[in-house]
Amino acid sequence: MDLELKDKVAVITGGSVGIGLAVAEGLAREGVHLVLCARNEERVKARAQEIADQYGVKAVGIHADVANGDDIDRLVAAIGAEFSDGVDILINNAGTGSEETIMDASDERWQYYWDLHVMAAVRLSRGLVPLMRKRGGGAIINNASICATQPLYYEPIYNVTKAALVMFSKCLANELVGDNIRVNTINPGLVLTPDWMKTATLLTENEPITPEQYLDKIAKGNAPIGRFASPEEVAHFFVFMCSPRASYCVGSSYYVDGGWLKVIT
């Protein structure tokens, strides 16, 4: 299938590792030019350069903390300077899990995750939609999580802010459909990114099991498919959803979770 993505321009937050990097590579393989954003400047620039070298596309790495409004203003200005003809795709992917109880978590903690998971998508959409209108339309994908619907008990702030991101996505989809901009949410389940390896290593430090055995137990105990997804398996779906081939997909949430979601929505 020709995904008709050649020479489109995509902005991916959290594009330097994990799901974001796999999506970046998937899009680059289709001939899409890229802006990758992350906080660690050295890493995001290095990954962008590698992608440019490997796939022959233009790929720019820009460091920014998307939880910070000033950084987003700077990022949007830099994107406008690099791609003055506009951009076609925005993937709000940067995010991270949390661990707290509602009784103990401070206002500051709530605010941080609200800024990271919700306001980043609000601010980047506001900043980049004018550049998408210039191209006659485009696609915005928000990476939420299965936890937006099916909460994990140890991370209420993550669950709540990801659920808010899903509702933001729906509202934005209604607002932008007339501009030929499709907005959708993807809700992954268990995806084996370096973050999970780090967590597993920490949690098994003094335990009689290896990080791999720990992860296997999590997968078998949760996802009916019995294993984690690779970032690439999830990225394939992101790439399709970015493409004009998904032209009738508007305002929805799609689960890529190996059967983990226990209800129908």
Q: Smallest distance from the beta carbon of 2 to ligand NDP, in angstroms?
A: 28
Q: Is 18 one of the binding residues for ligand NDP (CB under 6 A)?
A: yes
Dihedral in degrees, nearest 10, Cα atoms 199, 205, 210, 213: -50
Give the binding-site size for ligand NDP (rule: CB under 6 A).
29
Phi, psi of 188 (to 5 degrees): -75, 160
153 is catalytic: no
Residue 6, Cβ neighbours under 10 Å: how many? 11
Q: Give the x/- contact pattern for ligand NDP in 32-71, rule: CB under 6 A.
A: -----xxxx--x---------------------xxx----
Q: Counting contacts by CB under 6 A, is residue 89 touching ligand NDP?
A: no
Query: Binding string, 136-155, against ligand NDP, x = CB under 6 A?
Result: -------x-x----------
Q: Which is nearer to ligand NDP, 6 or 126 (CB)?
A: 126
CA pair distance 55, 178, nearest whole angstrom: 33
Side-chain half-sphere CA neighbours of 8 within 13 A: 26
Q: From the CB of 182, what's the least distance to ligand NDP, in Å?
A: 20
- Residues 184 and 237 sit within 8 Å (Cβ to Cβ): no
Query: For residue 93, which of 30, 192, 156, 22 has the smallest C-alpha distance?
Result: 22
Say if CB 100 and CB 156 are below 8 A apart.
yes
Distance CA 5, CA 10 (A): 10
Name which of 43 and 245 has its Cβ closer to ligand NDP: 43
- The smaller minimum CB distance to ligand NDP, of residues 19 and 163, is found at 19
**Chosen residue from 8, 9, 11, 20 binding ligand NDP by CB under 6 A:** 20
Task: Find the largest Cα–Cα distance for the chain.
Answer: 57
190 near ligand NDP, rule: CB under 6 A: yes
CB-nearer residue toward ligand NDP: 76 or 94: 94
Does position 26 interact with ligand NDP (CB under 6 A)? The reply is no
| 127 touching ligand NDP, by CB under 6 A | no
Single residue of 93, 98, 184, 253 touching ligand NDP by CB under 6 A: 93
Q: Does 94 bind ligand NDP (CB under 6 A)?
A: yes
| Given the residues 55, 113, 158, 255, the one annotated as active site | 158
Do the Cβ atoms of 38 and 16 come closer than 8 Å? Answer: yes
Sheet with 33-38: list strands edge to edge: 59-63, 33-38, 9-13, 89-92, 138-143, 181-188, 253-256
Cα–Cα distance, 16 to 31 (Å, whole number): 18
Please give the positions annotated as active site. 158
Footprint of ligand NDP on this chain (CB under 6 A)? 13-14, 16-20, 37-40, 43, 65-67, 93-96, 116, 143, 145, 188, 190-191, 193-196
